[in-house]
Chain A
């Protein structure tokens, strides 16, 4: 069985915050462990931020639609927007600058972590450009806490 819900909000930073928090609350209520929902939230927030900052950068803020499909062993989170496509209709690589304790202060990156985090946290990523919208889908493996523990 697949459980589904959807929500939409304007692509502004404050509406995005409220939208993300509402999706997170729903996911927790569906029995997904809190630590897993945390990881979903990190990736989802980056994807939504990209919509706000890039897809609608040159136009008035449109809507962001989020649809979650919870399967027995995985969660698909679909993010749609009516903004501009990704450059070359291709997702960014997410290669972030490698940092360590020896990285000089002035070389520390202040951004560019978004796609790196999405790629670290999602087990599968699909993108398609439809006629007038972007459709990005992120997959997360899930073990539901509400399922009874089986002992052998």
Chain B
């Protein structure tokens, strides 16, 4: 399993325990996300602070994970490292997701958008 999950306040925090979400990892990641978020809070926060590298397969898998949640739930991203942040900005996916510098920021009630 590439993910661990906890429920904090009103959100489920899913932590990625891998340094790379790349082509070798993307399908596993997508399946693990489906398992972890099958049911649960409306808001899911994906903690990416251990992830140093993501490629287009990994980016596609995160988009797929958000689609799996459906319209009534939402996937926010926290702890983007520099290379992950760059890939999100280059592809303009930074406009699609709520991005937080740290997991703490994502959990701060003042930062939560409704």
> What is the interface of chain A, defined by CB distance below 8 A to chain B?
13-14, 16-17, 35, 38-39, 41-42, 45-46, 49, 52-53, 96, 98-101, 103, 105-106, 108-114, 116-117, 120-121
Contacts and interface: CB of A to CB of B under 8 A. Distances in A.
B95 to A, nearest CB: 5
Contact of A117 (B56, B82, B96): B56
A13 to B, nearest CB: 4
B22, B55, B71 pick with most chain A CB within 10 angstroms: B55
A11 to B, nearest CB: 11
A17 B53 CA distance: 11
Given A45-B22, A105-B66, A38 B92 contact: no
B87 A13 contact: no
Given A110-B61, A114-B56, 16 more contacts: A16-B23, A17-B22, A17-B23, A17-B24, A38-B82, A42-B55, A45-B22, A49-B22, A49-B55, A49-B57, A99-B93, A100-B92, A101-B95, A108-B96, A111-B56, A116-B90
B95 A42 contact: no
8 contacts: A42-B86, A42-B87, A49-B56, A53-B23, A103-B96, A108-B63, A110-B63, A117-B87
Question: What's the interface size class on B, roughly?
Answer: 20 to 34
A108 B67 contact: yes
A99 B92 CA distance: 6
B52 to A, nearest CB: 9
A22 to B, nearest CB: 14
A116 B89 CA distance: 12
A110 B23 contact: no
A46 B57 CA distance: 9
Contact of B67 (A38, A105, A114): A105
Contacts of B86: 38-39, 42
B7 interface: no
A117 B90 contact: yes
B58 to A, nearest CB: 10
B96 A110 contact: no
Contacts of B71: 105
A96 B56 CA distance: 11
